C-alpha cells in the first residue's frame, strides 16, 4: 500500500538558544510556521558536528547539554528571569526575542518532518529524510559532500551574498528577520535627559572617544536597553550598520549615527536606502529628520515582520512541493 503523506508537513528547526541573530531568525521561522497552522518545533543541539569519528562524542555532548539546559530552564521558571538577566550562562534563556516556540525534546523525526539545519551544522544528526540547509552565512563545508550534507538536501540562503550557486542554483532564499515590537516601543512620553551610546562594530574606530558621558548599551540585556532608550534624550552610535539605532528611535530617542571623519552617507549606504528615524551626524536638519521619521521607522519594522511571515508561508508551500508532492 502506498504511503500517503499529510497535506500539512511538520517542521523541526535545529537551532542554538537565542544568543545571536542566527538563532533568532531560526526561532522566527518556527514561530511563523506555527502561526500559519503547521506543527513547528525547535531542537537544541549540544554539538554542531555529526560526522564519522565524532558521532559518539556528539551524543555524549547532547546528553550533557540537555541536562544542563533543563536545569537552567527550571531555575528560570522557579526564580523568574530577573536574577539571571546579566548572567552570561543564561544568555538565550532569559530576555529572548522570539517567545512561544514549541520545543522538540527527543532527537527523532518521522518522514512527515522537514528538518531545517543552519549552515554551521555538519551532517544529519536527526537522520531526517527531508532536509533543508539554510545558509545564514557563507557555507564552509561545500567540499564535504556525503559528510556535511547530502545530494538530496535542499539549500536556501538568507540573502544572496551568502548563496552558493553550485548548491543552490535556483537561488532559493528565505529571509525572516524578527523584531519584537512589543518589547521595542516607546513607554516614556515625558521628560528625557542624557545620552546613551552604541559602539559594537565601531570598537576599532580611531575616532572613538576614550570615555563617554553616558551609558554604553552594548552589553546590556534587551530589556535594559529598552529601559535606557526610554530614559535618554539622545542615542549616539559609532556602529553605522546596527539596527539598534533605529530601535532607539522607536523607543523615543533622538538617534544619531556618527560617520568617520571625511566619510559621507554614500560611503555607508546604498543610494536608495532610507534610514528612517536616524540622523546622519549632528546637523540640525538631520536631527529634525530623526524625529520626523520616527513613525516611518516603526512602520518599516512592522512591514519587515509581515514580509518575514510571507516568506515563511512561501517556504512552507515550497516544502510541500519539494518533499510531499
In this prediction, the residues of the chain whose per-residue pLDDT falls under 50 are 1, 5
Cell of 70: 533543563
What pLDDT digit, counting tens, does each position of 31-45 carry? 999 999 999 999 999
Q: Are strands 234-237 and 254-257 parallel, antiparallel or unpaired?
A: parallel
pTM: 0.79
The confidence score (pLDDT) of residue 156 equals 98
Distances (CA, A) of 193 to 36, 190, 219, 233, 293: 43, 10, 21, 5, 21
Query: Residue 145 and residue 201: Cα distance in Å, rounded?
Result: 35
Angle between helices 21-35 and 294-324 (to 10 degrees): 70
pLDDT in tens, 38-97: 999 999 999 999 988 889 999 999 999 999 999 999 999 999 988 998 788 998 998 888
Per-residue pLDDT, 158: 94
Long-range contacts of 259-264 (CB under 8 A, 24+ apart): 260/205, 260/207, 261/207
Where on the phi/psi map is residue 9: left (φ > 0), alpha (ψ -120 to 50), or beta?
beta
d(CA 30, CA 13): 7
Structural Rg of the chain based on CA atoms: 22
User: 150-155: which pairs have CB atoms within 8 A and are 24 or more residues apart?
Assistant: 150/124, 154/322
pLDDT of residue 243: 86
Grid cell at residue 87: 548572567
Residue 130 and residue 114 in contact, taking contact as beta carbons nearer than 8 Å: yes
How high is the pLDDT of residue 1? Answer: 46
Give the span between the Cα atoms of 309 and 192, in whole angstroms: 35
**What are the b/e assignments for 158-173, b being 16+ CB within 10 Å?**
beeebbeeebbeeebb
239, 229 Cβ separation under 8 angstroms: no
Hey, which residues does 14 pair with through a beta bridge?
43
Amino acid at each position: 500500500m502506498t504511503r500517503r503523506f499529510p497535506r500539512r508537513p511538520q517542521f523541526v528547526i535545529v537551532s542554538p538558544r537565542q544568543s545571536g541573530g542566527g538563532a533568532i531568525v531560526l526561532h522566527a521561522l518556527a514561530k511563523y510556521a506555527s502561526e500559519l497552522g503547521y506543527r513547528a518545533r525547535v531542537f537544541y543541539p549540544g554539538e554542531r558536528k555529526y560526522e564519522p569519528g565524532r558521532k559518539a562524542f556528539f551524543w555524549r555532548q547532547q546528553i550533557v547539554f540537555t541536562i544542563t539546559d533543563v536545569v537552567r530552564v527550571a531555575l528560570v521558571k522557579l526564580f523568574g528571569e530577573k536574577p539571571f538577566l546579566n548572567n552570561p550562562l543564561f544568555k538565550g534563556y532569559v530576555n529572548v526575542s522570539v517567545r512561544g516556540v514549541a520545543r522538540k525534546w527527543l532527537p527523532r523525526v518521522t518522514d512527515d518532518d522537514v528538518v531545517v539545519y543552519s549552515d554551521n551544522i555538519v551532517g544529519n544528526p536527526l537522520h531526517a529524510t527531508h532536509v533543508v540547509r539554510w545558509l545564514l552565512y557563507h557555507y564552509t563545508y561545500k567540499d564535504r559532500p556525503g559528510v556535511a550534507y547530502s545530494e538530496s538536501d535542499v539549500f536556501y540562503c538568507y540573502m544572496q551574498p551568502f548563496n552558493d550557486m553550485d548548491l543552490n542554483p535556483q537561488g532559493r532564499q528565505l529571509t525572516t528577520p524578527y523584531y519584537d515590537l512589543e518589547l521595542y516601543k516607546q513607554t516614556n512620553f515625558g521628560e528625557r535627559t542624557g545620552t546613551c551610546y552604541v559602539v559594537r562594530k565601531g570598537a576599532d574606530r580611531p575616532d572613538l572617544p576614550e570615555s563617554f558621558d553616558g551609558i554604553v548599551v552594548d552589553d546590556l540585556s534587551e530589556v535594559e536597553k529598552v529601559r535606557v532608550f526610554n530614559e535618554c534624550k539622545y542615542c549616539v552610535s559609532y556602529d553605522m550598520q546596527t539596527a539598534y539605532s533605529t530601535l532607539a528611535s522607536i523607543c523615543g530617542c533622538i538617534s544619531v549615527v556618527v560617520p568617520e571623519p571625511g566619510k559621507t552617507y554614500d560611503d555607508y549606504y546604498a543610494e536608495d536606502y532610507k534610514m528612517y528615524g536616524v540622523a546622519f551626524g549632528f546637523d540640525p536638519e538631520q536631527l529634525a529628520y530623526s524625529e520626523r521619521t520616527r513613525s516611518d521607522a516603526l512602520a518599516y519594522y512592522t512591514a519587515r515582520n509581515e514580509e518575514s511571515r510571507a516568506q515563511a508561508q512561501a517556504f512552507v508551500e515550497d516544502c510541500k512541493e519539494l518533499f510531499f508532492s
